[in-house]
Structure formats: C-alpha cells, structure tokens
C-alpha cells in the first residue's frame, strides 16, 4: 500500500529497487536491505523482496529455523 508521504507514484519505488538490485549482479540480505532503505519500501514490500530474491537455503538461516 502506497504511503501518502511517498515521493514516488504507487509501485515505482519497488520497480526502482528491483532495477537497482539487478544492476548489483547479486542478491544477498545486505543488498536487499540496502535497496529497501534507498527506496523507502514498506515492510510488506521488504518481505516480498526477501522471499522473492533470497535462495531457499539462505531464507532458512535468516529465519533461524530449518524447514
């Protein structure tokens, strides 16, 4: 959900964050968190980015549990 204080049109910050990540040529926890900070993504958008771009093995470590 777009925040009324956002300087970007709805969804534009997410597109810019994905574009930035693709330019970085690797996705790890640190680069995803940096993209979320740079583009002021919502917690929901950050969760989507983490689920979508981290490998399954890394997600287990981040969550602190084995699946």
CA 49/CA 6 separation, integer angstroms: 19
Report, as an integer, the average pLDDT of 13-42.
92
pLDDT of residue 54: 84
Residue 13: other Cβ atoms inside 10 A: 22
**Cα separations (Å) of 49 from 16, 65?**
12, 19
**13, 37 in Cβ contact below 8 A?**
no
Kindly report the pTM of this predicted structure: 0.67
- Return the higher-pLDDT residue of 4 and 55: 55
pLDDT of residue 53: 86
Answer yes or no: is pLDDT of 35 > 70.
yes
pLDDT of residue 41: 94
Report, as an integer, the average pLDDT of 16-35.
91
Cβ burial 30-60 (10 Å sphere, 16+ → b, else e): ebbeebbeebebeeebbeebbeebbeeeeee
């Amino acid at each position: 959900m777009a925040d009324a204080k956002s300087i970007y049109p709805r969804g534009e910050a997410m597109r810019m964050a994905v574009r930035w990540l693709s330019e970085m040529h690797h996705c790890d926890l640190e680069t995803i968190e940096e993209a979320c900070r740079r583009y002021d993504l919502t917690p929901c958008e950050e969760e989507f980015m983490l689920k979508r771009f981290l490998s399954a093995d890394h997600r287990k470590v981040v969550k602190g549990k084995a699946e």
